[in-house]
A = this chain, B = another copy of it.
Amino acid sequence: MDIDALRSAHPEHWSKATAIRALTLDAVAAANSGHSGMPMGMADVATVLFEKHLKFDASQPNWPDRDRFILSAGHGSMLLYSLLHLTGYEQFPIEELRNFRQWGARTAGHPENFLADAIETTTGPLGQGLANSVGFAMAEEMLRAQFSKKVVDHHTYVIAGDGCLMEGVSQEAIALAGRHELSKLIVFWDNNNITIDGTVDLSDRTDQPLRFKAAGWHVQEIDGHDPEAIDAAITAAKNAGKPSMIACKTHIALGHAAQDTSKGHGALTNPDQMAAAKAAYGWTSGAFEVPADVKSAWEAIGARGASEYTAWQERFAALSERRQGEFNRRLAGEVPNKLAAVVRALKKQVSESQPNVATRKASEMALEVINPVMDETVGGSADLTGSNNTLTADLGVFDVDNRKGRFVHWGIREHGMASAMNGMALHGGLKPYSGTFMCFTDYARPAMRLSALMRTSTIYVMTHDSIGLGEDGPTHQPVEHLAMLRATPNMLVFRPADVVETAEAWELALSQTGTPSTLSLTRQNVPTLRTDHKNKNLSAQGAYVMADATGKRQAILLATGSEVAIAMDARALLEAEGIGTRVVSMPCWELFEAQDEAIRKRVLPAGPVRVAVEAGVRLGWDKWLMGERGREAKSAFVGMEGFGASAPAETLYEKFGITAEAIAEKVKALL
């Protein structure tokens, strides 16, 4: 690459872009860790984007109508941190860059959204940023339709690398973006032909432009170091009327001895090579130093959006007070007052009518009363709409000609769905919930973990949650998935027992502002157990006494979801034999864990035999059986020991021994 030619052709651009390269080299060297090459290769694209196109104001990182900038190739985090420092974000003084990848710094190895306002999403797991961006762009379309383009009208820009495009989730994302003609989504592909193992050719020969065209995208191919070409391509992309992919031919680690090699992908820390690269750039400043003129040019870019921000504020102020309040409430993620009221009313009604319905149906009943009072909910399903019961009458289907639609047909794309839901939640103003079969949390897993890590309050509606789904067999029957989800930090796992608990779970899940929830729901019908109406949300305690022992309490049965009814039947058998038996429903372990010991002790006192019942694996249950004042010799578990099988649900419960009789026998054997 002829550095001198680049420099002399566009000297002002060059010095700004080089500031990114120099800071990247300095920070990675200081940390002795990180990825130098990507920021060095994409500095030109990022500079043009920030200078000429990105709508932002560095003093207003939370401006709701800012353009979103998503660094899907998250290992190149120094690109983002350099930009945030150079443009003058208050949270990114030079000290942050000096502390790159150190304890307590905002400049984590990969961008983490919860560490700084201006970091839109957490990336690093490849493909996620790209798939998030579909949710960001959908959210913009929806909110623009709901609040008008006076207050919502922005673009979503993404930088994705070869790794992002190799991950399968990228296909789900680009197909969704193409299907929905998300014309304000613009993706830069850092086409540098290098991955960690070597040249891309080692593992891939996909014609990426053709692949994007096949998905309905506008595609351009440019020299990613030519600022004029970059500028023109972005302008064309904005006018394309489709999602747009700009293939940027770049040189990884531009100007460094490791340029165009896989070594350039990693940490470039050799002092001599760093010095040589800086010399080639014509960069004479010391480490972490940026010449005043360059810094002020960047700060001018950071302030460029100030007038636009002011104009936006004026347009926002022109909205009615009610609309302003609604907008702000939704951005803050606060639930409307009406939520508690409609949930209470539903609980009261079903406590009386006592329907025998699947909890997936119960979920639909809850959504039917919730969606009308919460315009921010966005439902969806991975092609199982009639099974997940996530589409209510009033939502309407999101489509090119119906941006007010609040239900998304995600297609058979659980991973892309979950990742886009994260993007919607991160965008703000929407509460996404969507469903698939619980077993296919496996497909959505990378994005579900990120929901928890990123502290989005995404809601996963996972139906067909056990062998209770019957004939579809073990490929469709979760047995380990509750344990997997419970193992994940910062994830609420609800497994409600009936309509009332399901409505309570929805209220709790929607009320979260920093924690995702998974609702584990049955395919098969279950009776209403909460027949005595209480205004109070009992599920908020995580676990509570569903039915107490009559007379001396000799046994406690702990159960969740569809197994609570079975435990109640077992209790009837035991009580009939004079064995006082309490049933504890545990719709949410995490919420119960958060209770004071006094409360937990009231629910799970020492003494009685304990038998837990759940149509899943035992892993995790020992905490409640032998911990919390329990004893090994006085406890047992009734559940699954391996995978399920294909047969009618009743047969499976019988064959796998999850029956009232089996529970009663276990209790008696332990007494």
User: Which residues from chain A sit less than 8 Å from chain B, CB to CB?
Assistant: 31, 33-34, 74, 101-105, 108-110, 112, 122-126, 162-163, 166-172, 175-176, 178-179, 195-198, 202-208, 210-211, 213-216, 381, 383-387, 409-413, 415-416, 439-440, 442-443, 445-446, 449-450, 452-453, 470-476, 479-480, 483-484, 486-490, 617, 619-620, 622-623, 626-632, 641-643, 645-648, 651-652, 655
Contacts and interface: CB of A to CB of B under 8 A. Distances in A.
A601 B305 CA distance: 69
Contact of A126 (B385, B387, B412): B412
A168 B167 CA distance: 8
Contacts of A101: 471, 473, 646-648
A652 B383 CA distance: 42
A72 to B, nearest CB: 12
A412 B473 contact: no
Contacts of A440: 125, 446
Nearest to A164: B412
Q: Tell me the dominant secondary structure on chain A's binding face.
A: loop
Nearest to A262: B386
A603 B175 CA distance: 55
22 contacts: A33-B471, A102-B648, A125-B476, A126-B412, A168-B171, A175-B204, A176-B203, A178-B206, A179-B206, A202-B411, A207-B213, A211-B215, A442-B445, A443-B445, A445-B445, A453-B474, A480-B487, A483-B484, A484-B484, A490-B642, A622-B622, A629-B632
A179 B204 contact: yes
Contact of A381 (B197, B411, B628, B652): B197
A643 to B, nearest CB: 5
Contacts of A411: 166, 195, 202-204
A409 B202 contact: yes
A100 to B, nearest CB: 9
Nearest to A210: B214
Nearest to A99: B647
A168 B166 contact: no
A489 B383 contact: no
Contacts of A410: 203
A17 B479 CA distance: 38
Nearest to A448: B442
A453 B105 CA distance: 43
Contacts of A204: 175, 179, 411
Contact of A647 (B103, B480, B627, B651): B103
Contacts of A207: 213-216
A377 B617 CA distance: 32
Nearest to A174: B206
A490 B643 contact: yes
A487 B476 contact: no
B475 A125 contact: yes
A222 to B, nearest CB: 19
Nearest to A102: B647
A162 B412 contact: yes
A446 B453 contact: no
Contacts of A196: 383-387
Contacts of A198: 409
B109 A471 contact: yes
A453 B175 CA distance: 30
A517 to B, nearest CB: 16
A444 B505 CA distance: 30
Contact of A195 (B383, B473, B642): B383
